[in-house]
Structure 1
Amino acid sequence: MKTLPRVLKITEITKGKIFCVFNTGEYRIVDLKKFAADYELTNDLRLQKLISNQEELTQAVVDSGTLSFPSIQQTLKLSNGQTYSVSFDLDPIMLYESSVEDIEREKKNRIGEQLKAARKSAGMTQEELASRVGTSKGYISRIENNRSDIELSTLRRIIEVGLNKRLAITD
């Protein structure tokens, strides 16, 4: 079952672009001009207001897994005649599909590359590291090439037992 993309966090907003973290674990960049073009929304006044006004854009928040703009209100009318005023928001699936990978932020968060550098610095082969931690060379290779997820307990074993280092989370 495929996970539906949802926005978890805004990391930066600049020049018509919103840098986000999605629930897929990916850092992605939403370019609102591209978004409007991709979905034929170039005449949408609300989007144009966000694209042309950095101050409006910086008021974006994450609400229910998508980008919402509380400063831009829209009125919804139900079939029973009731009306509601709600914040303008953008569909998270459309945001994800229109966005591009944030390569700079992704590079900083790739554990595999960091493990590979640490292993090489320790003068070890993948086979030697795998033997020390009780796993296969192929699994170590997949981790180092960012083609496999890793459980925290395995990461800890690789770092503390295999590489004889200490696992720490820093800012």
Structure 2
Amino acid sequence: MRQKLKIPRIIKIEKIDGFVIQCMFNNGESRLLDFKKIFNKWNVSSDDLEYKLLDLKEFKKVNLRNFTLSWSNIEIEIKNEIGQIEKYPYEIGPDVLFQLSEQMDSNDIKLGSIIKSARLKAGLTQEQLAMRSGTTRFYISRIENNKTDVEMSTFRKIIEAGLGKQLKLIIE
């Protein structure tokens, strides 16, 4: 059985606004990294590698590499095992970035809210919806309260068999 790794990874840079980067992590969350706050917290001074990133033009040269933020305009020199100098771009580990980030106010559509609204509109109890869709009242409650994720196949069963509606998914 394949084990799920819970190591945070950045899978997309969604937006850069000044020194704030909005990233999507592999858990599906969009999170904000405010580097003005981060550099202030780190007490970045002219002696530090990050100092160059206080220049907005240099800061915006960020890209996604190895599931983290990377600045190839800042090089780190590291001696390898045979004493040779190797150069790498400046990167901050995604686990550190996740801890430093702030979760965005969620404008995400919560599937549980959609199900609950449709269930109430149809005049069904959680128990009735569970029976019709082949799940349990406890599971319907957890979905409606956004306490658990729902697989697409289960979501389809709840919508089509449980609520008697047609599921349409549009990606624009």
The two structures have a TM-score, normalised by structure 2, of 0.83
Tell me which residue corresponds to 1:113: 113
CA RMSD of aligned residues (A): 2.3
8 Å contact 1:27–1:101 — kept in the other structure?
yes
8 Å contact 1:13–1:57 — kept in the other structure?
no
How many positions carry a matched residue from both structures? 167
Tell me which residue corresponds to 2:157: 157
- Structure 2 residue matching 1:116: 3-state secondary structure: helix
Structure 2 counterpart of 1:117, one-letter code: S
Structure 2 counterpart of 1:147, one-letter code: K
In 2, Cα distance between the equivalents of 1:115 and 1:58?
41
8 Å contact 1:16–1:50 — kept in the other structure?
no
In 2, Cα distance between the equivalents of 1:70 and 1:144?
45
The two structures have a TM-score, normalised by structure 1, of 0.83
1:19-168 → structure 2 map (5 Å cutoff): 19-38=22-41, 40-43=42-45, 45-53=48-56, 55-103=57-105, 106-163=106-163, 164-168=165-169
In 2, Cα distance between the equivalents of 1:58 and 1:49?
11
8 Å contact 1:32–1:47 — kept in the other structure?
no
In 1, Cα distance between the equivalents of 2:126 and 2:93?
43
- Structure 1 residue matching 2:70: 3-state secondary structure: strand
Deviations 1:48-84 (A, max 9, x none): 433440x333332221121111233332232522122
- CA 1:126/1:90 → structure 2, altered by over 3 Å: closer, same or farther? same
In 2, Cα distance between the equivalents of 1:132 and 1:121?
16
| Percent identical | 37
- CA 1:48/1:124 → structure 2, altered by over 3 Å: closer, same or farther? farther
- CA 1:34/1:169 → structure 2, altered by over 3 Å: closer, same or farther? same
Structure 2: 5+ residue stretches without partners: none
**Greater share of helix:** 1
Further displaced range: 127-136 or 41-50: 41-50
